[in-house]
Amino acid sequence: MNMEPKSFQLFPESASNFAPSVDGLYLYMVLISAFFSLLVAFLIIFFAVKYRNRPGAGVPKPINDHSIGGMILEITWSVIPLGLSLVMFAWGASIMFKESRPPKDSLNIYVTGKRWMWKIQHLEGAREINELHVPVNRDVRLTMTSEDVIHDFYVPAFRTKADVLPGRFTTEWFRPTRIGAYHIFCAEYCGTKHSGMIGTVYVLSAEDYDKWLAQGSGEGSMAEEGESLFRQLGCANCHIKDGHGRAPNLYGAFGMKVDLADGSSVRFDESYTRESILYPQAKIVAGYDRIMPTFKGLISDEGMLKLIEYIKSLGDPNGVISERNLPLESPDLQKTGPMMPPASEMPKAPAAAGKAAPAAGTATGNQATGRQQ
């Protein structure tokens, strides 16, 4: 594994499944741009020389640009660039569609941004700071959140980045294709040591990765730790296994559609889980009472990730999938999780419920208004 700092570079290394397609698109755009730049430069220089002012030259005759020929010329130099650039649009859009849909069996890793470091947590329990170890040729999905300001997880060698936002989860995925060590940069300005918020991705062979995982942290897996947290906090008292508790069933529920009391629905994802733990009144599941207390201030950010991982790991012991838990085909929701509602405006009484709608556009609109009791 080459770890030596390079002294000079002309082009970034290509180390992920996305890199070749992004580079291909770049080449196309550079060629088009070079062609038009040179064309314009040639025309200007050629006209400047050929039609330079000569002694005795009279006033040039104006050209009738309202003729049919003039019209054709204007349309030509509008439509050809438009056509070429729509190719860029479609090509770029197809790449981004791929980037926004992590494969189902991706290796899931949690990333937390904090001024000015990256905290990484593996499902098996290993934790690292400003380093990310991943196996080569496996789809890796990062689920990311920030503890403070907006950051951005950028790996130039993978040609991909995504903003890391406080209060919600965003995802980014890639399949590393070359063993090596690559820069991680924070690409969204985040204050004093923004340029120090850097790290290294180590792409390891499958065996090296297993070896690396084995030396682990000595702690249990995230799901195991999440389970003990789940018991400590008393979640299991209401969210019981058979689905007939005072609170909704959590078994087999992750990733499903959840019907809410106001008639709308939401996808049971990381952001929804987090929101429901910190602001349980924001979205009430249809058929249940508004009884869950908030756990804000009681759970650390790492603890939250462990709880989420535990809930994800819950299978479906009795085949209890209620009819409302239908899979929802909308993977891009994972890219843009719902917003948390304003903490200060949580409905304390039904009269205030109308104000509880989250600040920004989610599919669910006015969640809390439906339930007046």
Partner 1 sequence: MITAAPPSVQVAKSYLNAETGIKSWLLTKDHKRIAVMYLIVVTAFFALGGVFAGLIRLELATPAGDLMESNQYNKVFTMHGVLMVFFFLIPSIPATLGNFLIPMMIGAKDLAFPRINLLSWYIYMLGGAFTLYVLLTGGVDTGWTFYTPFSSSYSNGYVVAAGLGIFINGFSAILTGLNFIVTIHRMRAPGLTWFRLPLFVWAHYATSAIMILGTPVIAVTLFLLVLERGLHIGFFDPAYGGDPVLFQHLFWFYSHPAVYIMILPSMGVISEVISTFSSKKPYGYTFIAFSSIAIAVFGFLVWGHHLFVAGQSIYAGLVFSVLSYIVAIPSAIKVFNWAATMYKGRVRMETPMLYAIGFIGLFTVGGLTGIVLASLGMDVHLTDTYFVIAHFHYVMVGGALLGYLSGLHFWWPKMFGRMYSDVWSKVSAVLVFAGFNLTFFPQFLLGYMGMPRRYHVYPPEFQVFNVLSSAGASVLGLGLLLPAIYLTWSLKHGAIASANPWGATGLEWQTSSPPIPENFEVTPVVTTEAYDYSTVQEVVHVG
Q: Which of residues 334-353 bind partner 1 (CB under 8 A)?
A: 335-337, 339-345
Contact call for residue 4 and partner 1 (CB under 8 A): no
The pairs formed by 213-220 with CB atoms below 8 angstroms and a separation of 24 or more are 213/122, 213/124, 213/126, 216/124, 216/125, 216/126, 217/125, 217/126, 217/127, 218/125, 219/125, 220/125
Q: 173 with 103: CB under 8 angstroms?
A: yes
Max alpha carbon distance in the chain (Å)?
A: 99
DSSP 19-33: HHHHHHHHHHHHHHH
Contact call for residue 359 and partner 1 (CB under 8 A): yes
Q: Which residue in the set 132, 140, 142, 162 belongs to the binding site for partner 1 (CB under 8 A)?
A: 162
Question: Token pair of 123, please?
Answer: 């499902």
Select 54 or 104, whichever has its Cβ closest to partner 1.
54
Contact call for residue 194 and partner 1 (CB under 8 A): yes
Between 105 and 144, how does the x/- string for binding to partner 1 read (CB under 8 A)?
A: ----------x-----------------------------
Q: Which residue in the set 159, 267, 306, 371 belongs to the binding site for partner 1 (CB under 8 A)?
A: 159
- Look at residue 330 and give its three-state secondary structure: coil
Q: Which residue in the set 14, 106, 138, 166 belongs to the binding site for partner 1 (CB under 8 A)?
A: 166
Q: Which of residues 79-108 bind partner 1 (CB under 8 A)?
A: 81-82, 85-86, 88-89, 91-97, 99-100
Contact call for residue 161 and partner 1 (CB under 8 A): yes
Q: Which of residues 13-52 bind partner 1 (CB under 8 A)?
A: 18, 21-22, 25-26, 29-30, 32-33, 36-37, 40-41, 43-44, 47-48, 51-52
Residue carrying structure tokens 């948390």? 340
Q: How far is the CB of 321 from partner 1 (least distance, A)?
A: 28
DSSP 157-220: GGTEEEEE-BTS-EEEEE-B-S-EEEEEEE-S--STTGGG-EEEEEEE-HHHHHHHHHT--SS-
Q: How far is the CB of 352 from partner 1 (least distance, A)?
A: 14
Contact call for residue 165 and partner 1 (CB under 8 A): yes
Between 285 and 324, how does the x/- string for binding to partner 1 read (CB under 8 A)?
A: ----------------------------------------
